[in-house]
Chains A and B, each alone.
Chain A
């Protein structure tokens, strides 16, 4: 018997005909149905620039303030209490097993994106030491990606989550391109991947570097907004 990786409850494996068609054999589920429905999807009524859930499809106030520095982001889920609780256990308590909760959903979300090269947002060396994993690449299964960015050594700041919005917007460029990046980025449409879109500052810093590296276009996908 398998137990849900998140809530620990036993999972009933259901054999469906369509499942047999598609994969030839059944995938063993590791997340229960109740846990899979804890998150709220972003519906069609969202900001066209940042993907934020709204009641209409107009550009949101935050995106208007970014003005010409625009970036198109898509978000899968709303950043609500359930998603925060998930990130608390996965990223902050460091429960790497919880990466499985979103792996299947990310496969679906990436299918809907139009891009040539996937670039996940990196973590700095100190975080790699203490956390032991990059929470973004943890969600990737077999998808090819290129770690084009790395965190500058001088960027030993307090964590983003400890800052106010104003402080976050003030931060200096934390990323630089890895050595062989320009060769791989040239003329490519790049999709940046991150966990949560909060102010959009981090993703814009990353996008700026990617463009400097010679990419043709940059968009982004986050699991939550």
Chain B
């Protein structure tokens, strides 16, 4: 009986001791539909032996027309369900408390809900009262995010806050085996293995890549949720789709326009540097930017230098070396030393990092300033710029700081980001937000 737990609320290709599976691919006209990722399998995606296979969810293990998926309906049978308690010792600000109350009410009514909380609002803690309530009721809960770094950072915090709740962390390439737990922290990809498992799903950074552009992952959330379940979406920068749902009142929303320390968000200051791209191709940086970097280094001010592309990292590092700035360390998504470099930056063992948008969210450095170089490049969307600006002034000890955006011209995305920050700050001021 114990071993059956592996199938509770999941659908996997391994058969349990008894119980019939269902075909992993079902025919739809001349094509097939994958029952794990619910995507169409093209008639050309066929093996030499004639069987069709799904390429969309291949990384979870290949499914063909010969495979079956097995599941046991979620029974909510957890080992320590009585003792689920909040072991978090912090306190919520009045704004956080209000938002926490709203989250709890929507959860109790089993309504889907969006928590639009500015960067540094403390949105994780805002969910704690509702989370404690749901865990005490014996509900099965998933906390998921499209970003693996968000999951890795969050898992230990949840383990501390709910010390008596059984918890498991799942992501691609994870070395530990799956175990059945009341609280699952995972990447949105991992939800593909679940089937009507969760009473409540929290989706953290809902507008982040790849979830925002992947119908497969968006559908995975729907299928992992029980028919009676609901979800809570968390973000500081909802995309146009979500904002439309909110406007149409198809999705309930709670705003937290003020950071937990009640200091307003730093605004983005624009510096125009003409033809920075051409100058960089000649190995040069704008003099304004060089002076700016030198000032931060002289003041001992830690900072992040955001650049558009991986290919820009090395030329900028070299251009800085030409003017005698040799301390530059670069980081990007595929960097094997990424974690190490982020830790060195957090421990202030290095003065600054040149980074791609990979550090736009999910990471916190105390007392950091931000420079965006080439802010007019298409990779800097409005959401990306607001998130990047949100790296600054997060701690109560250092609640302010500078955000400077160097660009050839002020793009629509830059203007929209400034407008969004100004609007949030206007609302924040009404709630008693301070400038410093």
- A-to-B contact residues, CB < 8 Å: 89, 93-97, 128, 131-134, 137-138
Partner of B58, one of A95, A131, A132, A134: A95
For the complex, give the distance between the alpha carbons of A61 and B217 in Å.
50
Q: A94-B53, A96-B53, A97-B55 are in contact. Are A132 and B64 (CB under 8 A)?
A: yes
A8 to chain B, nearest CB (A): 9
CB of B51 within 8 A of chain A? yes
Rounded to whole angstroms, the CA-CA distance of A128 and B46 in the bound complex is 14
Q: A81 vs B164: C-alpha distance in the bound complex, in angstroms?
A: 43
Bound form: Cα–Cα A95–B61 in Å: 10
In the complex the two chains form, is A93's CB within 8 Å of B62's CB?
yes
Tell me how far the C-beta of A2 lies from the nearest C-beta in chain B, rounded to whole angstroms: 12
Find chain B residues with CB under 8 A from A132 CB: 47-49, 51, 53, 64
Distance of A132 Cα from B58 Cα, bound (Å) = 15
Please name the residue on chain B nearest to A94 by beta carbon.
B62
Instruction: List A contacts of B62 (CB < 8 A).
Output: 93-95
Residues of B within 8 A of A97 (CB): 44-45, 55
Rank and list the top 6 A-B pairs by shortest CB-CB distance, nearest first.
A132-B47, A133-B48, A132-B49, A94-B62, A96-B47, A133-B47
B64 and chain A: residue at smallest CB distance: A132
Chain A contacts for B48, CB-based, 8 A: 96, 132-134, 137-138
Q: A93-B61, A97-B44, A132-B64 are in contact. List 15 more A-B contacts (CB 8 A).
A: A93-B58, A93-B59, A94-B47, A94-B58, A95-B55, A95-B58, A96-B45, A96-B47, A96-B53, A97-B45, A128-B49, A132-B49, A132-B51, A133-B48, A134-B48
B81–chain A nearest beta-carbon distance, Å: 38
A134–B48 Cα distance when bound, in Å, is 8
Cα separation A137 to B49 with both chains bound (whole Å): 12
> Closest residue to A96 on the B side, CB-wise?
B47
The distance from the CB of B337 to the nearest CB of chain A, in whole angstroms, is 16
Q: CA of A138 to CA of B48 in the docked complex: distance in angstroms?
A: 8
Distance A205 CA – B13 CA, assembled complex (angstroms): 37
From A134, which residue of chain B is reached at the shortest CB distance? Answer: B48
Contact A133 B58 (CB under 8 A): no
Name which of A131, A132, A138 has the most chain B CB atoms within 10 A of its CB: A132
Contacts of B49 in A (CB 8 A): 128, 132-133
> Interface size of B by Cβ–Cβ distance < 8 Å?
14
Cα-based distance from A132 to B47 in the complex (angstroms)? 6
Min CB–CB distance B43 → chain A (angstroms): 12
- Contact bitstring B338-375, A, C-beta under 8 A = 1, else 0: 00000000000000000000000000000000000000
Which residues of the partner chain A approach B59 to less than 8 Å between Cβ atoms?
93
**Interchain nearest-CB distance for A136 vs B (Å):** 11
Chain B residue at smallest Cβ distance from A98: B55
A-B contact pairs, 22 of them (CB 8 A): A93-B59, A94-B47, A94-B53, A94-B58, A94-B62, A95-B58, A95-B62, A96-B46, A96-B48, A96-B53, A97-B44, A97-B45, A97-B55, A132-B47, A132-B48, A132-B49, A132-B51, A132-B53, A133-B47, A133-B48, A134-B48, A137-B48
A132 to chain B minimum Cβ distance, whole angstroms, is 3
Neighbouring A residues of B45 by C-beta, 8 Å: 96-97
Which residues of the other chain, A, contact B64 by a CB distance below 8 angstroms?
132
Give the CA-CA distance A137 to B48 in the complex, in Å.
9
| B 31-61 binary contact with A (CB < 8 Å = 1; else 0) | 0000000000000111111010101001101
| B 60-77 to A, binary, CB cutoff 8 A, 1 in contact else 0 | 011010000000000000
Which A residues are in CB contact (< 8 Å) with B44? Answer: 97
Task: Name which residue of chain A comes closest to B61, CB basis.
Answer: A93
CB nearest to A135 among chain B residues: B48
Residues of B within 8 A of A137 (CB): 48
Q: How far is the CB of B234 from chain A (nearest CB, A)?
A: 28
Residues of A within 8 A of B61 (CB): 93
Chain B min CB distance to A62 (Å): 29
A129, closest chain B residue (CB): B49
Q: Which residues of B contact A93 (CB under 8 A)?
A: 58-59, 61-62
Using CB atoms, name the residue of chain A closest to B59.
A93
Q: In the complex, how many angstroms separate the beta carbon of B420 from the nearest chain A beta carbon?
A: 30
Chain A: minimal CB distance from B95 (Å): 42
**Assembled-state Cα–Cα distance A133/B48 (Å):** 5
- Assembled-state Cα–Cα distance A200/B45 (Å): 33
CB distance from A187 to the nearest CB of B (A): 31
The interface centre, meaning the residue of A97, A134, A137 with most chain B CB atoms within 10 A of its CB, is A97
- Which residues on the B side are within 8 Å of A128 (C-beta)? 49
A128 to B48, CA, bound (A): 9
Which B-chain residue is minimally distant from A92 (CB atoms)? B62
Residue of chain A at shortest CB distance from B50: A132
CA distance A97 to B49 in the complex (A): 13
Q: How far is the CA of A138 from the CA of B47 in the complex (A)?
A: 9
